[in-house]
Structure formats: structure tokens, C-alpha cells
A and B are shown apart, each in its own frame.
Chain A
Amino acid sequence: MSSGTQLAQRHRFRWWELLPWAAGIAAFFVFPNYLSFATQVLITILFALSLDLVLGYAGIVTLGHAAFFGAGAYTVGMLAMHLGWNEPISGLLAAALVAASIGLVSGIVLLRTHGLTLLMLTLCTMTLLEQAANMGAAWTGGFDGMPGLSFSKILGLFGFDTLYFRSQYLYALVTLLLCFAVVRMLVYSSFGQSLTGVRENLLRMHAVGAPVRTRQVLVYTVSAALAGVAGALFTQANGYVNLAVLGLERSAGVMIVLILGGHGRLYGAFVGAIVYMVLEHALAKAYPTAWQLGLGLTLVAVALFARKGVIGLVDSVRRRLPGAAR
């Protein structure tokens, strides 16, 4: 009997899930000169992963996700700048806590709405934070941000090297792995299943007696915490923070990453971040003035021919192969 083999096996670990991490470790040795860039990719993956939880799984459309990235980035920056709190791991936790609190409070208010209203309100929340960061110069450094931040050694052993990014890279890789483990557990849990229910049909979800709002606020809060960690990594790895962590460009950028890779797919964030950033990097090198055109054309192609992103495309090709198991 076909009693749920698919569902019963979905959460099981498959061999190819090791590939991203093997590639991550390999990159450390193969591209020693690109570790600064690779660290930014890892941070983007984590940020996109946090967005996938709300957008891809719970169907909450937001344009203000950079609010949480920025909250995390500024938390770590301000702690280091004003309190001399520059221990990195506790910094990540503090950033997660602050971002989660903002996610919780704004989620309780915003998630009463949906659609365009929600989109605009998330944008407003982010803009409010951006302006707060801009105007609270005594705390945030205002328009200039906080340059030249330094952080103590990770676990008291590995110092951040701003020139080679070696420890930053490994630190970001391990952090991403831990956060990914949390996200993976969540999406395959009953909670994750109920989130997909919320995404697919709100009306029905109410009719099966699910506490829909609570679930939405919960996932929004968790997602905010993860985005906060990504922001904190950004500040720690780069040694500075400025208003760019909070803008619409960052919010829209991460959404593009997710759409490019495939949303609601767990590994879409990985593929999207790599494709987006490598493309951006290569195009900017080849066509310094018109690189955004290439990115735009890629997006148009994805929107037209691969609605479910690169991962979705791979899936549908695989499904058409003869003898493909579904």
C-alpha cells in the first residue's frame, strides 16, 4: 500500500546533502584568495535561508527582511563600539535575541494583515529602523556607520584576519551549518508541515482548527533571529557596519536570491546565493558599467522559464528523464 512512503522518508538524510558542505570545505583550500568573497556568499545563504522560512514555507511575503539583518549587524557593532563587548559567539546570540524581539513585536502587529498591506508594512518597519540608524548617530554612527570594529578571538583561539578571511570563512561556515540544522529540523517537522498549510490555504487552515496567527508569528520570530545572525556575521567578518545593511536593496536582493535558487526548497538559498553572487561578481568584472543588465536578463529568464528557480528546473528535468522515480 502506498501509505506515505514519500512523507515518511522526506526528512531522512540523503548522501547528496553532504555536497554543499564538502564544497564549502573544498573552497577553503581551492580558493584561498577568494575567501572574503566566499564568506559574503555564506552570509547571503544564511540570510536567504531565513527568508525562505517565512516566504517559501509560510507564504509570508515581506520586503522588509533586511530589518532583521540590520538589527543583528548593528547589535554586534554597537556592543563592540560602546560596551567593548567584542566576544564573537555571544555577539551572535545577542544579535539573534535582538532581531527575534523585533520580529516578535512587529510580527504580532503586522501579521494581522496580508498581501499588499503586509508587503508595505514590512517595508515601513525596515525604513523606520533604517532612519533610526541614520538619526541616532551617537549610537550608530549615523550615515557613516561604524568603521574599524575589532572582535576578539573565536573561542579565544582563532583571530579574525581582515586580510585573508580564513577564520571568518570557517566561522561563517560552521554558523551556517548550525543554523541550517535548525531550519532543516523545522521544515520537516509537523510545525513545518502546518506552515505549508498556511501558505497553501489560510481559510482551510483556520477550518482545521490551527492557531494560524501564532504559527506565523513564531516562524517570523525564528526567521528574524536567523537573519539577525547573518547580519551579525556580516559585521564581525567585515569589521564595519553601515546603513547599507538595512536598505531596500538588501531586502530585494535576498528575495531575488531566493527566487533565483527556488523558494520553499531548503537548498534554494544555497544555489541562489552562489548563482547570484558569482554572476554579479563576474558580470561586474566583464562589464563594469552595465553588469546589472545581465543580472536583469537572467531574472527575466528565470521568471519566464523557471518559475521555481534553478532547483525547480533541475527537478523538472530530472522528472522527465526516462525511468525517473518520483
Chain B
Amino acid sequence: MSAAMLETRSLCKNFGALEVAREINFRLERGARHALIGPNGAGKTTFINLLTGVLSPSRGEVLLEGENVTRLAQAKRVKRGIARTFQINQLFRGLTVQENVCIAVSERLGVGGSMLRPAGKRADVIREASRLIAMLKLGEDAERLVAELPYGRQRLVEIAIALGLNPRVLLLDEPAAGIPSAESHILLEAIATLPEEIAVLIIEHDMDLVFRFAERITVLVSGAIFAEGTPAEIAANREVRSVYLGSALDG
């Protein structure tokens, strides 16, 4: 079997006696559209934190294209192509949309620490940021402060920042959370049009979105993988229905 884009082997994490990740063996293939679902408290965000290096595992390994990155710090993993969005917006609220994206692009291009040239003269950074902003249809808000935008538009800025890092792996932590349903189609469209070569792992509670987006679904329960398969397999799985999907898909 060839190396997956991102893989975990026997990944475990405990906080004292509390096991939040148990023997997770997970593969995210190249260009995958993969969803991670599970009830609240199943350890989904913890899993993302283990993948990105915010938390270090108690046991087990994280491999990026077959290379062990378990001991790498978060910043180093970002440089290797793992980007994420947050469940609750983590944006530079007092800065404009454009500055938000420029900061990410500058770091990716390695000019974030440059002291001599004005940021406004970095044509390459600005061009790349503008491209992403246009792609997420944020063009008319580019010069507004993020804090002034409605929540749904701010969610798009989250994604624009992550894409500014030119990721090979994109981890979306509940991208639709907190968006009014009237605005969610913009987000759906944005996710649907993500560049194909990026492997995307999405955590989401909105089953509509999950089943529309994902080619593969992993169900996490109490920190362990409970089931995995195609959307059809997961929808047909009686046990999954009973622990998680509930009556939503019955009948």
C-alpha cells in the first residue's frame, strides 16, 4: 500500500485517566474528501489537535506522506502542508480581510519576518491573497475589518487563511457551525470548489453537508474509530445509526 497523504498509527492521548484518543489508525488519501463524524465529546477536535501538533500524543505516530512528523512542532507541520480551520473563528479581528489572508501567505512564502520592505510592496503576497479572496467571493469585503463582517463571511475568511498556507492537507473543524442556513450555500460552494489536489478532512455535524461532500466517512465514538466506509455503507450501518445518526436517517 502506498503512503497515505496523512496517516495515524495507534494514536493515543490521555489526559490523566481520561482517554480522548484510543488506538486511532486512520488514513487520509491524496485528494481525499473525507468526513469525520461522531457525537459531541467523541474526540474529533482533539484528533485534529493531534494531527496539527497542538497536542502531542501519549502514544502512536502521525505520518505525512509516510514521513514521521509526530515530534514536529505545529509551525513545522504547517510548513510541510498541514493547515486547519477552527471550530470557533480564530481570526485577526482588528485587521482587514486582506491583511488576514496576507499574513498567512507571507508566512508561507517565508517573508513574514522581513523588516525592510513594506508589506504593501509585496506584490506576490497581495496577488495571491487577492486570488483567494476572490475565490471565496469575499472581494467586496477585502478592505473591511473582519470584526465588522457577519459570522458566515468570517467563516469564509477562516478558509481563505488556511488556503493561503497552500496546504496539501486541509482540516476543516465544523466549517458550517454558527452559519445561518440562508448563508450556508456560500460555504458549501466554497468547500465544493476546493482545489482537487488538496486532501480534505472535514468535521461536521450537518449530515446533509457530510453526505453531499464526503467520499469516505469515519465515525469516532469515545475517542476510538467506531466505523469507517463510504457514505452508503455508513448510512446503512445499523450500529452507527443507533449511536449517532439516530432517527435523522431513519424512514
Contacts and interface: CB of A to CB of B under 8 A. Distances in A.
Interface of A: 1-12, 185-186, 188-194, 196-197, 199-201, 203-211, 214-215, 218
Interface of B: 52, 54, 74-79, 83-84, 86, 90-96, 98-99, 102-104, 106-108, 111-122, 125-127, 129-130, 134, 139-140, 142-143, 161, 164-165
B78 A207 contact: yes
A191 B95 contact: no
Given A2-B140, A3-B130, A193 B78 contact: no
B119 A189 contact: yes
A55 B105 CA distance: 25
A196 B95 contact: yes
Nearest to A10: B120
Contacts of A218: 113
A208 B130 contact: no
Given A11-B121, A207-B52, A189 B143 contact: no
Contact of B119 (A188, A200, A206): A188
Contact of B120 (A8, A185, A209, A214): A8
Contact of B115 (A7, A185, A209): A185
Contacts of B127: 3
B165 A215 contact: no
A9 B120 contact: yes
Given A4-B129, A9-B120, A204-B161, A211 B142 contact: no
With most chain B CB atoms within 10 A of its CB, the pick from A1, A8, A209 is: A209
With most chain B CB atoms within 10 A of its CB, the pick from A10, A189, A196 is: A189
B93 A191 contact: no
Given A190-B114, A194-B106, A210-B112, A201 B74 contact: no
A209 B110 CA distance: 10
A222 to B, nearest CB: 9
A201 B92 contact: yes
A110 B85 CA distance: 29
B90 A203 contact: yes
Contacts of A3: 126-127, 130, 142
A204 B142 contact: no
Contacts of A192: 115, 119
A6 B95 CA distance: 12
